[in-house]
Chain A
Amino acid sequence: MSNPARRSPSGPPIPIDGLLSDEVDNVSSVPGSSLTIALDALLNRQVRYLDVNDDPLALWNFADTLNAVRGPNITTTTGEWGFTSIYPGVRALMVNVGARLSAPVTSSIILTGAMSAEMIVQFNSFPIAWICGVGGTVGSASAADNVTWSTVFNPAGVPRNLTTAWETGSGSAVSFATSSAPGAAALPPVHNIMSIGFSRASNGVVQPYFNGRVLGGPSGVLTLPTNGSNGAFSIGGQIGAVATQSFALMSVALYNRARPASEWLASYNRSMGHGLGFIVG
């Protein structure tokens, strides 16, 4: 090996032979101040749970636990569920047909205005009538049982779309589904890990997201939910209902504001992109 010398502008040549990676500044886009730290960061790339970087008001990361990072713990369960790998080495909540998991009624997550919900999920079958959301008893015509937000996945056809739904008045449904017209942006087949969610603005406009990018265009202006004071966070089905198909849920993050596209992109890159490759805006 040749032994080139490091030469400062004014100082004498410094032998480089045997220089340690700890001593070399990293100026790449890989995180880490030194080459050693940057190399370790690359070695440790893997799919990660959603984080608190954008200050969610509730966050559930199902790493062998039903306890929340923020917000209410999941305390009530029915049907078959477990913890499995949603991606090699990364545990998630497994929800079978007939299962529902829910948290106690929590006023802070009954969101009737601007909000966002992001989740990392893997479908085992289609369609999923209710992935998660906040509402009272299903089928009730009582305003107190109104759904204030939910993410559902209805059709089994192609393109596969994503639906956001809530209720206003006394159980009047309001929903927005991404397009199922030929050529529309769509969700992938089963057994793919994916990040999905939506932002709802204070004027009722919904923008769905998929893997850090918009999933089709936004909705028109929709009537916002009202009441919903009996709302409980539930997975698999609204209170009184259960999962119609099976899926695995790794993370759910809930915000009381409409997140911009840049936050969705960055959140994806910090969680899934960290293992699968970054996407750019």
Chain B
Amino acid sequence: MSEFTASSDDVTNESDVSGASVTIALDNLYTRRVTYLDQVDAPIALWNFNDTLNAVLGPNLTLDTGNFGFTDLYPGVRGIWLSPSTRFSAPPTPNLILLGAMSVEIILMQQSQPPHPWMCGVGGTAGSELAADNVSWAIGSPSLSGVMPFTQRSLWEQGAGSDVQFVTSAVSGSPSLSFIHQVSVIGYSRSAGGVVQPYMDGRTFGPPSAPLTMPTGGGSWVFTLGGQLGETTVGQILYMSIAVYDRERSASEFRGSYNRAVGQATGLVVA
């Protein structure tokens, strides 16, 4: 009688690990690491700063002012490091001018504590009260230096430069951005009704806003990273990925995206 032998190739994988066979599942576990945001949820723009300023989807970025480099946010995974007084911009791109429902998601690491008033967004020249320069969407962290919890802000303008914003609570006991030197995934969804829901690390980042007036105007809109046109970064921050959507993403999509990007390496977040 011949001795029984079998391989992991012969066994069908029924676990939650991806892969048809146990061999493929084991290989997938073996290569677990932090990865860039992906196109599973069909973003309209995606930048993965893997030693490049070129977009995966959407317009490429160019340096307006300041200095930057590429370094690892997580061992073996590159991102872009913006020094103070830095800004990048893209050529005007109509499909990034989002006046209705939209979402943005970012993988980042802070090198200095907030404030980081403008991480990225679409708008004209800062400080202008012209409707043509209105911000159609932006994300940042406006916290006062050293004040905790660290907040996240969703910002846009309507009318002639009238700010509309939703800032997560700074009241003690509220969710907070993490301390510096940690990989974090942040973002928000804006519904067609003007309700903003912030997210952090695959879960909601406090409660949603009430319905807010939607952005209007435009004409001078440009996507910028680090500061609105005319402004630059305040502190130092590193970005690994930025994804923009022209619809309101659900909580399950933010969680799924987190788990595919960061959770694969650091542990899955469940509902």
Contacts and interface: CB of A to CB of B under 8 A. Distances in A.
Interface of A: 1, 3-7, 16-22, 24, 35-40, 42-47, 64, 66, 77, 79-91, 94, 96-97, 99, 122, 124, 190-191, 246, 248, 275
Contact of B29 (A7, A42, A84, A94): A42
Given A46-B266, A85-B200, 12 more contacts: A7-B3, A21-B13, A40-B15, A43-B15, A47-B267, A81-B173, A84-B149, A89-B263, A89-B266, A124-B179, A190-B181, A246-B179
A40 B26 CA distance: 11
Given A20-B11, A43-B16, A82-B173, A89 B262 contact: yes
B4 A39 contact: no
A84 B14 contact: no
B266 A88 contact: yes
A5 B217 CA distance: 71
Nearest to A14: B4
Closest 9 CB pairs of A and B: A46-B267, A82-B149, A39-B15, A82-B176, A191-B181, A84-B176, A96-B148, A88-B266, A85-B178
A47 B9 CA distance: 31
Given A4-B10, A89-B201, A191-B180, A83 B175 contact: yes
Contacts of A64: 175
B4 A40 contact: no
Contacts of A24: 11, 22
9 contacts: A1-B9, A4-B6, A17-B10, A24-B22, A46-B267, A66-B173, A88-B183, A89-B267, A191-B180
Contact of B6 (A6, A39, A124): A6
B14, B17, B146 pick with most chain A CB within 10 angstroms: B14
B185 to A, nearest CB: 8
A interface SS class:
mixed
Contacts of B174: 82-83
B130 interface: no
B114 to A, nearest CB: 12
B172 A82 contact: yes
A24 B15 CA distance: 12
A81 B184 contact: no
B177 interface: yes
Contacts of B12: 18-21
A36 to B, nearest CB: 5
A24 B149 CA distance: 49
B11 A35 contact: yes
Contacts of B2: 7
Contacts of A96: 146-148
B15 A89 contact: no
A5 B269 CA distance: 40
Contacts of A3: 10
B271 interface: no
B10 A80 contact: no
A46 B2 CA distance: 43
A22 B16 CA distance: 12
Contacts of B15: 21, 35-40, 43
